[in-house]
C-alpha cells in the first residue's frame, strides 16, 4: 500500500504536511508567551513526526522506509485524543493548527486503510476466497487546461450575467466583481483530481474480466459527491451507498486507453449527462441560498450544498441507524430459521 501511494505521498502529502508544520510553528513562535503545559505536551508528541519530516535520515534508508515512518508517526498522532483536541477542536486551536491536523490525518489514511483491511480479514470467515486486484493509478494531466474558461464565460454557460448582485449572492457582501474574477482565475490553475468511483468505473471499462455476474456495487467509505453520483447513474449498472449532494473542485475523468468495445460511447454519453446536470445544479444553487461546508475532517472542501439536513454527521447517524435496523432484521430472521430447524429435529425425534 505504501508503494502504491508513493507518488501521491511524494507530490502531495509531504509538501502539504511540511507547509502546515511551518505555518503552525511560526504561529507558535509568535505566541510563545501564551504556551500552556498542555500545549507543551502536544508539541512533544509532534516532535517525532517533525523530526522525520524535516531532518535528514541515514543515507542508507530507502524512500519506502521513510514514507512508512511518516505514515506510522502520523497514524500514532491521529489516535491521540489530546493531540486532536489541542489542534482541531480545543479552545486554543486555530486555523493553522486545524490545517496541520487535517494534513496529519491525510497522511495517516494509508495505515487506517491497512488496519481496516486487517480487521476485515480477521472477521470474515470467507476472506480467504476473496480476490484483490489493485487498480492502476489513472493518467491525469498535472496541469489544468492552457486556456481555461473565465468567470464571465462560465456564468455565460449558465445563462447568467457577471454583476455585483450575482457576486454578492454567491460569495457574500464583502466580495466585488474584480476580487471574484481574480479568485476564480487562481482556482482554474489548481490540479485536477480523479475520485475513487471514477477510477473504479474506468478500470472496469478497460478490463475483460467484467462479466454479467459481477456484483454491481461500489463500496465507499463516504457518500459520493454530486459529479460521481451523476456519472455512475448516467453510466448505469453500478450504484453506491448514496450521494451527499455537494460539488467538488478539480473533478475530472482520466485519459482512458484500451476501453472495451462500446465503452467509449457509453462514458461519453455519461459525461454529457453530468455536464447537463452540473449546469442545472449550479444555476439552481446560485438562485437559492448557498451553504458552504466541508464533507469531512480529513477530506477536501466542497463548493456548495443545498441540503443542510444532509450534513456528514447527520448522514452518518442515519447510516448507522439504517445499518442497525438491517442487522436486527437479519438477526431476527436467522434466529427464527434456527428455531424452526430445532423444532423440526425435535419433532422427528419424538416421532
Segment 128-154 shows an average pLDDT of 74
pLDDT for res 315: 53
Which stretches of the chain are assigned E, i.e. beta strand? none
pLDDT digits (tens, 9 = 90+) for 203-228: 888 876 655 677 888 888 788 999 99
pLDDT of 297 > 60? The answer is: no
Report the C-alpha gap between 330 and 221 in whole angstroms: 22
pLDDT greater at residue 253 or residue 189: 253
Pick the closest to residue 319 from 310, 306, 308 (CA basis).
310
Q: Read off the C-alpha cell for 89.
A: 477542536
Burial class, 105, CB count within 10 angstroms (exposed 0-12 / middle 13-18 / buried 19+)? buried
- What phi, psi does 295 have (nearest 5°)? -85, -25
In the numeric block, which cell numbers belong to residue 94? 486555530
What is the per-residue pLDDT across 35-89, written as a single tens digit (0 to 9) for each? 566 667 788 889 989 999 988 666 668 889 989 999 999 999 999 988 998 898 8
Query: Rounded to an integer, what distance in angstroms lies between the CA atom of residue 191 and that of residue 168?
Result: 27
CA atoms 39, 42, 46, 47: torsion sign: positive
pLDDT tens, residue by residue, 314-327:
555 555 655 555 55
Whether the full predicted model's pTM is greater than 0.75, yes or no, is: no
More confident residue, 144 or 236: 236
User: What is the per-residue DSSP string for 232-295?
Assistant: HHHH-S-B-S-B----BTTB---B--SPPTTHHHHHHHHHHHHHHHHHHHHHHHHHS--B--BS
SS3 label, residue 3: coil
| CA angle (299 as vertex; 203, 93 as ends), nearest 5 | 165
Grid cell at residue 172: 457574500
For 86-105, write each residue's pLDDT tens digit. 898 888 888 899 999 999 99
Name which of 247, 309, 252 is nearest 277 in CA terms: 247
Q: How far apart are the first and last CA of the chain?
A: 60
Q: Is the pLDDT of residue 305 over 70?
A: no
Amino acid at each position: 500500500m505504501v508503494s502504491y501511494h508513493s507518488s501521491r505521498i511524494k507530490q502531495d502529502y509531504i509538501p502539504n504536511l511540511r507547509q502546515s508544520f511551518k505555518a503552525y510553528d511560526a504561529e507558535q513562535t509568535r505566541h510563545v508567551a501564551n504556551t500552556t503545559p498542555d500545549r507543551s505536551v502536544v508539541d512533544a508528541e509532534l516532535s517525532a513526526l517533525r523530526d522525520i519530516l524535516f531532518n535528514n535520515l541515514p543515507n542508507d534508508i530507502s524512500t519506502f522506509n521513510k514514507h512508512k515512518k511518516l505514515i506510522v508517526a502520523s497514524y500514532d498522532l491521529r489516535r491521540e485524543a489530546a493531540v486532536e483536541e489541542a489542534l482541531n477542536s480545543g479552545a486554543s486551536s486555530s486555523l493553522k493548527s486545524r490545517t496541520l491536523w487535517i494534513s496529519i490525518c491525510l497522511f495517516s489514511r494509508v495505515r487506517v486503510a491497512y488496519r481496516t483491511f486487517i480487521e476485515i480479514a480477521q472477521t470474515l470467515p470467507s476472506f480467504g476466497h476473496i480476490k484483490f486486484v489493485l487498480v492502476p493509478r489513472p493518467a491525469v494531466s498535472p496541469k489544468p487546461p492552457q486556456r481555461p474558461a473565465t468567470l464571465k464565460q462560465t456564468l455565460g454557460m449558465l445563462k447568467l450575467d457577471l454583476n455585483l448582485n450575482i457576486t454578492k449572492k454567491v460569495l457574500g457582501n464583502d466580495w466585488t466583481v474584480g476580487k471574484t474574477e481574480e479568485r476564480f482565475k487562481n482556482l482554474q490553475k489548481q490540479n485536477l483530481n480523479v475520485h475513487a468511483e471514477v477510477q473504479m468505473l474506468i478500470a472496469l471499462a478497460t478490463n475483460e474480466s467484467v462479466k454479467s455476474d459481477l456484483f454491481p456495487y461500489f463500496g465507499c467509505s463516504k457518500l459520493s459527491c454530486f459529479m460521481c453520483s451523476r456519472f455512475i447513474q448516467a453510466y448505469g449498472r453500478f450504484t453506491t451507498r448514496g450521494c451527499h449532494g455537494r460539488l467538488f473542485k478539480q473533478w475530472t475523468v482520466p485519459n482512458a486507453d484500451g476501453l472495451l468495445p462500446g465503452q467509449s460511447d457509453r462514458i461519453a454519453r455519461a459525461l454529457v449527462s453530468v455536464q447537463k446536470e452540473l449546469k442545472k445544479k449550479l444555476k439552481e444553487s446560485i438562485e437559492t441560498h448557498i451553504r458552504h461546508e466541508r464533507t469531512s475532517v480529513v477530506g477536501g472542501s466542497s463548493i456548495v450544498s443545498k441540503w443542510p439536513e444532509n450534513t456528514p454527521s447527520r448522514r452518518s447517524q442515519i447510516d448507522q441507524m439504517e445499518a442497525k435496523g438491517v442487522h436486527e432484521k437479519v438477526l431476527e430472521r436467522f434466529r427464527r430459521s434456527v428455531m424452526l430447524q430445532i423444532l423440526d429435529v425435535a419433532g422427528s425425534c419424538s416421532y
